[in-house]
Structure formats: structure tokens, C-alpha cells
């Protein structure tokens, strides 16, 4: 059972890193795709989930909450008698990429500014439906 909790903790950490990659990469792809005329960046589901993801991060930060993924991962590591944020190779390297020792206000500012950039991208490159075949993407203004 010990190894199961270890693997689950690593899986939670991997999910956390993928969540961060989605939030950061989603904004980068939206802005680049908006400028390059990629129709898929206007997909309503993608954009809605992306906006909700950063909204959740900002809300929990402003409320002073610890991320539920962090809480779950630390609980799993404690269950196997492992100090938090030490352990396997995967854990070691992913933690180095994800966690920083900064004051809480720095995260509040960074997450809020990032969320404002996501909202700006939503307005600048709005999601929508095309008129062709009901697909969930609208062509960019340059390609109409």
C-alpha cells in the first residue's frame, strides 16, 4: 500500500504541473493563435475551461486557500511517512518547476495579473461559433 500512495502522490503532482501548463500554455496559444488566425483558439469549451481554471486559482489565492492538489499530494506523502516535497525523481524535479518560496502577496499579484491577461485575450480573441457547419470555432477576422 505504501507504494500505491507514493505513486498516487506523484500522479497528483503530475496533474498539478499539467494544470499549470494548461493555464500558462493556454494563454500563450490563444494570443499566438489569435495573431496567426488559428480558428481552433476560438473554441468555446477550451476558452471557457481555461478562463475557469485561472479564475479558480485567483479566487483561492485571494481567499488565502492552499491549492487542493497541493493539499492532497502532501496528505498522500504523509501517509507513506515521506517528508513533503522530498522523495522520488519525478517529485523532486516537478517540485522545482512548480513551487517558489515567495511571500503570499507576490502570488496574489502574479495570479491576478495573469488572470487579467486571460480576460484580455478573451476580449481580444473572443470565442465563438462559426456559421459553417456549426463547428465550435469562428474564423479570425483576417480569414473571413
Does the structure show a pLDDT above 50 at 70? yes
The lowest-confidence range among 35-39, 91-95, 121-125 is 91-95
Cα–Cα distance for residue pair 101/124, rounded to 1 Å: 34
pLDDT band at 28 (very low <50, low <70, confident <90, very high): very high
Neighbour-count burial of 90, counting CB atoms closer than 10 A to its CB (0-12 exposed, 13-18 middle, 19+ buried): middle
Interval 82-102: pLDDT, tens: 777 655 545 666 777 777 788
Model pLDDT, residue 134 = 44
Model pLDDT, residue 120 = 96
Model pLDDT, residue 129 = 57
Which of 25 and 9 is assigned the larger pLDDT? 25
Model pLDDT, residue 141 = 54
Cα–Cα distance for residue pair 98/135, rounded to 1 Å: 36
Does the structure show a pLDDT above 50 at 131? no
Which of 84 and 138 is assigned the larger pLDDT? 84
Look over the chain and give the mean of its residue pLDDT values, rounded to a whole number.
83
Cα–Cα distance for residue pair 129/139, rounded to 1 Å: 9
Domain ranges of the chain: 2-130
pTM of the model: 0.75
Amino acid at each position: 500500500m505504501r507504494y500505491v500512495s507514493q505513486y498516487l502522490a506523484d500522479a497528483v503532482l503530475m496533474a498539478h504541473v499539467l494544470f499549470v501548463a494548461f493555464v500558462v500554455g493556454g494563454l500563450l496559444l490563444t494570443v499566438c493563435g489569435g495573431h496567426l488566425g488559428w480558428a481552433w483558439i476560438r473554441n468555446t469549451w477550451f476558452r471557457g475551461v481555461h478562463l475557469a481554471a485561472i479564475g479558480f486559482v485567483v479566487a483561492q489565492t485571494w481567499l488565502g486557500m492552499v491549492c487542493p492538489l497541493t493539499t492532497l499530494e502532501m496528505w498522500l506523502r504523509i501517509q507513506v511517512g515521506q517528508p513533503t516535497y522530498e522523495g522520488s525523481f519525478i517529485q523532486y524535479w516537478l517540485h522545482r518547476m512548480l513551487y517558489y518560496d515567495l511571500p503570499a502577496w507576490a502570488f496574489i499579484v502574479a495570479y491576478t495579473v495573469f488572470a487579467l491577461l486571460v480576460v484580455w485575450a478573451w476580449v481580444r480573441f473572443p470565442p465563438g461559433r462559426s456559421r459553417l457547419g456549426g463547428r465550435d470555432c469562428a474564423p479570425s477576422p483576417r480569414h473571413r
